[in-house]
């Protein structure tokens, strides 16, 4: 997975975040601290906008456990995001369940239908995370 991520990150930066593989223009790079080690990690993730917020889903392809990056955001809620050629700091708000989670996940899956399949593959509720820009 690390090699795949590295390739996507390289493509994202080379193309200024536009037209990246099958993500098109719906990909961001999230740089966060890992939950256990505290080391910095950069992860490419599909997103959609909800007003001023960027919304990502902790789908892990429908795996039975949350992705490591989700645990990192739960523990360390400040991160940085690259969207297109812009980079900025964000505060992450994990939304693990409830009507707001359902609304945001549905919007995500409407734009990117593969996320509906991820829900069918797993018994867990896939959380979403709202990322809000914070002053530098």
- Reported as a single tens digit per residue, the pLDDT across 45-79 is 999 999 999 999 999 999 999 999 999 999 999 99
Q: What separation in angstroms does the CA of 75 have from each of 37, 57, 60, 83, 94?
A: 11, 17, 18, 23, 10
Phi, psi (deg, nearest 5) at residue 128 = -115, 165
What is the rounded CA–CA span in Å between residue 103 and residue 24? 23
Domains and CATH numbers, the chain: 2-133 (2.30.110.10)
> Hey, what are 9's tokens?
């990150």
Model pTM?
Answer: 0.94
| Contacts for 36 with CB less than 8 Å, ≥ 6 apart | none
| pLDDT tens-digit readout, 6-20 | 999 999 999 999 999
């Amino acid at each position: 997975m690390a090699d795949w991520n590295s390739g996507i990150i390289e493509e994202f930066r080379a193309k200024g975040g536009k037209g990246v593989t099958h993500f098109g223009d719906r990909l961001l790079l999230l740089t966060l601290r890992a939950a256990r080690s505290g080391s910095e990690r950069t992860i490419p993730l599909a997103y959609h906008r909800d007003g001023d917020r960027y919304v990502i889903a902790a789908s892990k392809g429908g795996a039975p456990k949350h992705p490591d990056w989700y645990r990192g955001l739960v523990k360390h809620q400040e991160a940085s995001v690259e969207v297109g050629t812009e980079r900025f700091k964000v505060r992450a708000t994990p939304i693990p369940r409830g009507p707001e989670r359902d609304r945001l996940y549905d919007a995500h899956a409407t734009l990117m239908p593969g996320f509906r399949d991820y829900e069918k593959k797993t018994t867990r509720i896939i959380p979403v995370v709202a990322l809000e820009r914070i002053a530098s």
